[in-house]
Amino acid sequence: MTSRTTIAVAASAGACALAFGVTAPAAMAAPQQGQDTGMVSVFHGIPGMTVDVYANGDKLLSDFKPGTVTDPQSLEAGTYDIEIFEAGRGPDGTPALAEQVKVSEGGNATVAAHLSSDGKPQLTAFANDASKVDAGKARLTVRHVAAAPAVDVRAGGQPVFTDLTNPNQDSAAVDAGTVNADVVLAGTDTVAIGPADLDLKEGTSNIVYAWGSAEDKNLALATQTFSGMETMPNAAHAGVSGAAVTPNSSDQWLAWAAAAGAISLTGVMVARRVAGRRG
């Protein structure tokens, strides 16, 4: 069963012209934001469920796979009916998630489809912060969107964020450089995800998603980087890169963000749980 929630974001180009890129190539320039527009990205964090995404009845994404985040896209201000179906089951079937997204002028947001702390699919909207950081610094944001209890995020064995719960986030400006990071159960040394090397380049905003299900043992990370936030004059234009990282991977964590803006989520949404499809 689904009901509708209103999400206020910002965007450009009309419902029929929505075209999200499923991957985020490195060093790609961020889309330009025009008048009466804003920027919207979509993150898919529901394990074992490839989906199609529709807006106002038009297909936006086909075979959108878990752990994937789209490039930020410019959308015209307005209201969009967003429906997320298991791949091949829309638009006449019952959506796994159905939301009304209100795109308003001048903001930037990511809409995340993920599991709640008790394992039910839900949609959460996050505002993206791309304000400047001091010289020698990078911004690190961690978003807990996994069916898992509270966690601590450690860098070099020391907690950076503590007692983070689903669907919340925490952020800090940190020294640029490479750190070894992991995610542990809050107040313990029990590793849930990682360890992995996290490359925090100067002037980047790095967002790390902890997603998946602890019960199903498929906790993972999905990350992207948004660059161009140096405080130095004539900083390079912003770019994005992205990747998914699986548990206990030794691969570098890439990270992501997007331009700052206002976003709000109101109302109550009940999503149909897709039984037996998380894995």
Query: What is the per-residue pLDDT for 106?
Result: 78
Query: What is the per-residue pLDDT for 129?
Result: 86
Query: What is the per-residue pLDDT for 35?
Result: 59
99/113 Cα distance (integer angstroms): 11
Q: Is 22 left (phi over 0), alpha (psi -120 to 50) or beta?
A: alpha
The structural architecture, per CATH, of the domain 137-245 is Sandwich (2.60)
Task: Tell me the one-letter amino acid at 243.
Answer: A
Q: Per-10-residue mean pLDDT for the chain, 279 residues long?
A: 43 30 32 67 94 91 94 83 90 88 77 94 86 93 97 93 97 93 95 91 92 96 82 43 38 26 30 35
228/251 Cα distance (integer angstroms): 24
76: tokens are 């015209």
159: tokens are 């907690």
Query: What is the per-residue pLDDT for 262?
Result: 29
Task: Tell me the one-letter amino acid at 21.
Answer: G
126/110 Cα distance (integer angstroms): 5
Q: Which CATH class is domain 6-128+261-266?
A: mainly beta
SS (H, E, C) the chain: CCCCCEEEECCCCCHHHCCCCCCCCCCEECCCCCCCEEEEEEEEECCCCCEEEEECCEEEEEEECCCEECCCEEEECEEEEEEEEECCCCCCCCCCEEEEEEECCCCEEEEEEEECCCCCEEEEEEECCCCCCCCCEEEEEEEEEEECCCEEEEECCEEEEEEECCCCEEEEEEECEEEEEEEEECCCCCEEEEEEEEEECCCEEEEEEEEEECCCCCCEEEEEEEECCCCCCCCCCCEEEEEEECCCCCCCECCECCCCCCCEEECCCCCCCCCCCCC
Question: For the chain, what are the domain ranges?
Answer: 6-128+261-266, 137-245
Beta bridge partners of 127: 109
Query: What is the per-residue pLDDT for 232?
Result: 54
59/57 Cα distance (integer angstroms): 7
Q: Which residues contact 116 (CB under 8 A, 6 or more apart)?
A: 122, 147, 166, 167
Domains 6-128+261-266 and 137-245 share a fold: yes
